[in-house]
Structures are given as C-alpha cells and as structure tokens.
Amino acid sequence: MLGLWAVLTLTGALYSAWQGYGGREFAATLTAFAFFFLVTLLFAARGVEDRLASRFGAGSGYLLGTAVFLFYLIYALGTITFAFSRSLAVAALVFIPLLLAATAERQPPGVLQDFLTIIGIWLAVKPLPNPWGWSLSHWLWPFPGGRLAYVFTVMMCVNIALATFVLVRRVNGTGYSIGWGHHWTFFILAGFLAFAGIAIPLGHAIRFIQFEPQWSQLKSLPLVSLGILFFTAWPEEFLFRGLLQNILARATKSDLTGWWIASIVFGLSHITNMGFPNWRYVILASIAGFFYGWTWRKTGSIFASALVHAAVDITWHFFFRTL
C-alpha cells in the first residue's frame, strides 16, 4: 500500500508540476493530499486497523480525526485561504461524527448515531440543491480554483469514516481492503455484464443514455480510470456497501434486507444528479446498487464492488452520452 501510495502521489505531483503549479501553495496542497490519500490506502492493507486499535484503542480514531483537521490547517495556511469559518466547518465535519461514535461506542452497529453520521458524510460530499448554487466542497477547498475540491472532500470524508466506524465504533465486515480472492474474477465480470445487459437497453428506452463513443478521449483512459476508481467508486462503495449495507444487515439481522434497502438508498442519493429530481438516474443507480451490493456480498470486499462500479462509470464516460 505504501508503494502504491508513493507511485500514485508522485505521478500526481509530477503531472501538476508539468501543468505549471509550484511554490508554497502547491507544496501545502500536495502535503494535505498525500496525507489523506495515504490514510485512504494504508487502511486497505491487512491488519492496520487492528494494530492501531490494539495499541491505542478508540483513541486511535480521535488521533486520526485530529490529524485530519491539522492537515486541513496546513492546506489552508499554506494556500493563504485560511478563514475561521472554514476551519470551524471542518472541525464540525471531523469531530461531530467522532462525538456521535463516542456516545455509541459500546452499542452494536445500527444505532441512530451510525445513520446520522452516514447521512452527514454523504451530505458533505453531495449537499442538497440550493438556489444560490453554493457548494461546501468548493468553499472549503478554494485552491487551485476549486479544481480539487471534490477530490479533497471525498478523501477527507473517507478519513473521517475510517476514524469513526473502523477505529472508534469497530464495525466489522466492511471489506475495506485491496486484494483478490477465490472466484472474484467471475463475480466482478458477472456483476458488470448483468448490470450492462439491463441498464443499456433500459437507459435507451427511458431516453437517459445514447451510444456515442468518445474514441478521441481514450488517450486519457488510464488517468480517468484511476480517478474514477479511487475518488468515486471506492469511497461510495465504502459508504454504501461497507458501512450502510453492512450496518443495515446487522441491525435487521437480514443480509437480504440490508442489501435491498442500501441499493434503493444508493439510487435515491443520486436524485440531484443532472437536475432535481432526476428519477431516471435514481432507477438506474438503484439497479446498479443492487449489483454492486451483490458483488460485495459474494466477495466481502469493497475493492471488488468498486471495480464493478468503476467499470460501469468508465464505460458510461467513454461510450455513452447522457441525454
């Protein structure tokens, strides 16, 4: 994981430098990015959370939350975008989930605090539509020109979720790991092909998509694929499968109930995409959530479901146009 982190971070740094970024602002931004991305990947290595929890207990979650806040301050001060209002907002995003987790530390997964935290994390990434077009992520991460706002918000929220659910709440079975298991190739391909066999004709029938390959854009396939995998598919699978579906299944004592409810909630979470209310998006996203959830159940890993998720988004991005 450390090697993967080093390669991807160095690649991003070199690409940014090639694009003309430099100076103190760039250094502060890269430092914050490197930390958030390190935590995101390092926890996918086997046994990391167990070692931290055995040494520091629930305190490891509070230490991680504090580190997340401090690295935001490094970014804000280094890019000369510091403001008390922004810092208070980030402090709330970090420490309110940890406070909720502390009040439910000894209770089984599925208490009110768990669902409030999941809702809060999702709204931080995808806030409700408003008439002013205001975006929390662009407000918190204004440099460079808001172009990294979504990525930074996603990584910070993944870090917060890890601190809250993995270290403090000690929710088991999230599948937050990168690896490969028995028959995973079959489950990943089956999930993707089954969804494609339903979504493509249905998407055409409801006039949501149109086949329109972007052959000239395929040169950006490697970079776009990595971005989709790590900053869209991975965090969404962690939140909706590793946490929501997992916790719902435990709370209801039914894997099937957790699976179906999480799939529908996943679909409804996309209702603001490309105009509100976008029910066509909700329908297709719910079906997609069904197959992502099936892959997660069969493999026990968000890496497998994230690969299906990423394959769907990549295919959509390069071969279909949204109507």
Instruction: Give the distance from CA 183 to its chain's centroid.
Output: 25
Measured in degrees and rounded to the nearest 5, phi and psi for residue 278 equal -100, 85
pLDDT, residue 105, reads 78
User: What φ, ψ does residue 210 adopt, rounded to 5°?
Assistant: -140, 135
Alpha helices in the chain (DSSP H): 2-18, 23-42, 48-56, 59-78, 84-103, 112-125, 136-140, 149-161, 184-205, 221-228, 234-237, 246-252, 255-268, 279-299, 302-319
Matching residue, tokens 């970024």: 21
Residue 143 confidence class, pLDDT cut points 50, 70, 90:
very high
Cβ–Cβ contacts within 10 Å for residue 298, how many?
Answer: 18
Single pTM value for the model? 0.95
Residue 20 has pLDDT above 90, yes or no: no
Question: Cα 194 vs. chain centroid, distance in angstroms?
Answer: 24
CA distances from 4 to 34, 44, 152, 167 (A): 12, 11, 19, 23
| All structural domains of the chain with their residue ranges | 2-168, 184-322
pLDDT at residue 132 is higher than 80:
no
Is residue 297 within 8 A of residue 259, CB to CB? The reply is yes
What is the mean predicted confidence (pLDDT) over 142-171? 95
Summarize pLDDT for 223-278 with one digit per residue, the tens: 999 999 999 999 999 999 999 999 999 999 999 999 999 999 999 999 988 888 89
Q: What is the pLDDT of residues 95-105, one digit of tens each?
A: 999 999 999 97
Q: Provide the pLDDT confidence category of residue 13 given band limits of 50, 70 and 90.
A: confident
Structure tokens given for 290: 């069904």
Residue 156 φ/ψ, nearest 5 degrees: -65, -40
Q: How confident is the model at residue 279 (pLDDT cuts 50, 70, 90)?
A: very high
